[in-house]
Amino acid sequence: MSTRTVPIRFQLNGLPVERSIPPERILLDLIRDELRLTGTKRGCDLGTCGCCTVLLDGTPVLSCLTLAARADGRSVTTIEGIMTGGRLHPVQAAFVECGATQCGFCTPGFVLTAVALLRENPHPDRATIVRAISGNLCRCTGYTKIVRAIERASEVAP
């Protein structure tokens, strides 16, 4: 064990979190094992698959390769934090409508990557969508419906 802990404070899905953590604590472990938000998935654990994607100050990052200490003073959004007023986020709704999930394990990562893409570029073309999700792996769908869902979400975006 480490000889000391690091104090961190951050916003998690809009709510303040304060913790003392060992410096080697990975953000994914903090989110899943300590804060019990298990929507963020552990896939490869080495940065290849994108299942663990969360938004750090709005930017999608791999939480399996991010030290939790790095979240200090910042805002973290997980899949649990994008619904508003009990309603699905438009990207989530589009995934449901288009049947863009099968086993569902990769879905939180895809949804968060898509949320960030559409915030930056509300009406991306197909090639831009494909590039944006190239760090998220899906072993079930073949991606067609995922791309379609993101296009659908962009159509309903303001």
Partner 1 sequence: MHLDAFELHRPESLSETLRLAQTWAGQSDFLAGGTDLLPNYKMHLNLRPHLIALDRVSELGGVSLDRFGATATLGELERYLGQARAYPGVADAVTEVATPLVRATATLGGNLLVDTRCFFFNQSHFWRQSLGYCLKADGDRCHVVPQKERCYATFSGDLAPALMVVDAEVEVAGASGVRRLPLRDLYDRTGDGIRRLRLAPGELLVAVHLPSEARQFRASYLKLRIRPSFDFPELGVAVAARTDGDRIEALRLAVGGLETYPRRFDELTDPLEGQRWSEERIRDLAAAVSAAVRPVRNTSLAPDYRKRMAGVYVRRAIDRMRHRGG
The residues of the shown chain that bind partner 1, judged by CB under 8 A, are: 1-4, 6, 22-24, 26, 29, 45-48, 50, 53, 59-62, 65-67, 69-70, 113, 131-132, 134-136
Tokens 């939480």 -> residue: 63
Burial of 38 (0-12, 13-18, 19+ CB in 10 A): middle
Q: At closest approach, how far in Å is the CB of 92 from partner 1?
A: 19
Q: Which amino acid is at 21?
A: I
Q: At closest approach, how far in Å is the CB of 96 from partner 1?
A: 24
Chain-centre distance for alpha carbon 93: 16
Q: At closest approach, how far in Å is the CB of 60 from partner 1?
A: 6
Burial of 41 (0-12, 13-18, 19+ CB in 10 A): buried
Q: Which is nearer to partner 1, 49 or 84 (CB)?
A: 49
Q: At closest approach, how far in Å is the CB of 3 from partner 1?
A: 7
Q: Which is nearer to partner 1, 4 or 87 (CB)?
A: 4
Q: Which token pair is 2?
A: 């480490």
Q: Which is nearer to partner 1, 17 or 70 (CB)?
A: 70
